[in-house]
Amino acid sequence: MADHELYYDPYDVDIDADPYPVYKRLRDEAPLYYNERLDFWGLSRFADVEGALKDFKRLSSAKGDILEVVKADPAMPPGVFINEDPPEHTMHRALVSRAFTPGRMRKLEAQIRAFCAACLDPLDGDERFDFVLDLGAQMPVKAIGMLLGIPEADQPSVRDAAVRKLRNKPGEPLKVTKERYFSGKAYAEYVAWRAENPSDDLVTELLNVEFEDLSGERRRLTQDELLTFIAVIAGAGVETTGRLFGWMGKVLAEHPDQRAQVTKDRSLVPKAVEELLRFEPPGPHVARYVAEDVEYHGQVIPAGSALLLMVASGNRDERRFDDPDRFDIHRDIGQSLTFGYGAHYCLGAALARIEGRVALAEVLDRWPEWEIDLDSAVRAPTSTVRGWDSMPAVIR
């Protein structure tokens, strides 16, 4: 490509290393962008992405929320609630949302803090610490395990399955199996065991909950519905939240003055986490299926198209945020695009924020200063979730 030609490709490794200059050009020069080679449309401005996330009637989630999935149009079993539109989405979301009540979150926070301390205490006194390997790869799946009641011995397999599902070869789209894109059958044995051994967890609750379905029938979840629910929840937050920890180590090392402010004043921890989520969102984009013709900036996206909503670009939009390329823990963000908007606002947002706040506070308690060994850091090979497999810190 000529230097002056505007081109965006979510699989391009060089662009992904620092997509923000390209995002800025897209917002300024082509706020509605079309990639002819890969056949997808893209929106990059905050207001456009926000509006599109709310527009579930014309921009559907029913064919997936990952670009490759939307284009493959795989068979989607009932119960993949993140890939449903209202009213099905509303019905299923109401059942799953009982896992994320304030009371459950408060209880989980204490458990997450204890687990975080157990991870970090053995490293106290060491000269190095890895934000991803020592924490980010462990805490999210542990939190999901606590939520669902998954035994500790089975949690590594949950993490590995979530990681494999989103890994693509660098520079290439994710391989999507059209006939069998999503399955929860791996959890069948666990669900059968939990039915015989009830506990205070979401799986036990879902095994017993009764609800009114769209036909008006009062019933319990079918086996397939329940297994799908569990698979969605188990996989949804593992990769995305795990990537937050790598960015936490890198960005705060690059802004030692702001890190020092958070160390001194712990009331800044929530604002620091929120700014991290805006500044480097682990999920840089989501996709929608265009169910009917829709117009942006004088151009019509035809029905049947795939549309990429560039969350990370919208989070750096000058039309929404002052000096958006500046990391600022004192910024009054309002709401970024990181967890979405509207009907599909991320159910796990509160849990992800808790994990981020706990991790940052516990790290600062032990190591208020660190530098990043960026030469040894390892990028994660996935276009769907942007971040690191390793982010080693040198303790000062």
Task: Confirm whether 226 is domain-assigned.
Answer: yes
Count of beta carbons in the 10 Å neighbourhood of residue 160: 12
Domain hosting residue 106, numbered range:
13-395
Q: Residue 237 burial by CB count (10 A; 0-12/13-18/19+): exposed, middle or buried?
A: buried
Contact assessment for residue 387 and residue 120, using Cβ atoms and an 8 Å cutoff:
no
Stretch 335-351: mean pLDDT: 92
Distance CA 141, CA 99 (A): 15
Task: Confirm whether 103 is domain-assigned.
Answer: yes
**Average of per-residue pLDDT values in the chain:** 90
Over the stretch 204-240, which tens digit does the pLDDT of each residue have?
A: 888 999 999 898 999 998 888 888 888 888 777 777 8
Whichever domain contains 325, its CATH number is 1.10.630.10
Instruction: Report the share of the chain in percent with pLDDT over 70.
Output: 96
Token output for 360: 């940052």
> What total of structural domains would you count in the chain?
1
Distance CA 275, CA 312 (A): 12
What pTM does this model have?
0.92
Task: Confirm whether 3 is domain-assigned.
Answer: no
In this structure, are strands 40-43 and 370-372 parallel, antiparallel, or unpaired? unpaired
Lowest-confidence segment of 30-44, 78-92, 280-294 by average pLDDT: 78-92
Task: Confirm whether 6 is domain-assigned.
Answer: no
Place of tokens 């309002």: 334
Q: Which residue has the higher pLDDT, 272 or 229?
A: 272
Distance CA 358, CA 366 (A): 13
Task: Confirm whether 8 is domain-assigned.
Answer: no
Q: Quote the DSSP letter at residue 368.
A: S
Whole-number pLDDT of residue 155 = 76
Whole-number pLDDT of residue 102 = 84
Whole-number pLDDT of residue 147 = 85
Stretch 37-52: mean pLDDT: 97
Whole-number pLDDT of residue 296 = 98
Stretch 124-142: mean pLDDT: 91
Count of beta carbons in the 10 Å neighbourhood of residue 367: 18
DSSP string, 154-205: GHHHHHHHHHHHT---TTSPPP--SS-S---GGGHHHHHHHHHS--SSHHHH
Place of tokens 């002052």: 322
Contact assessment for residue 395 and residue 370, using Cβ atoms and an 8 Å cutoff:
yes
Is the model's pLDDT at 131 over the cut of 80? yes
Stretch 356-367: mean pLDDT: 96
List Cβ neighbours of 255 (8 Å cut-off, separation of 6 or more): 327
Quickly state the pLDDT bin for 163 (edges 50, 70, 90): low
Task: Confirm whether 185 is domain-assigned.
Answer: yes
Contact assessment for residue 347 and residue 93, using Cβ atoms and an 8 Å cutoff:
yes
Query: Which residue spans within 245-387 are E strands per DSSP?
Result: 286-290, 294-296, 299-301, 306-309, 370-372, 378-379
Task: Confirm whether 108 is domain-assigned.
Answer: yes
Contact assessment for residue 310 and residue 26, using Cβ atoms and an 8 Å cutoff:
yes
Task: Confirm whether 2 is domain-assigned.
Answer: no
Give, for 219, the enclosing helix (H) or strand (E).
strand 218-220
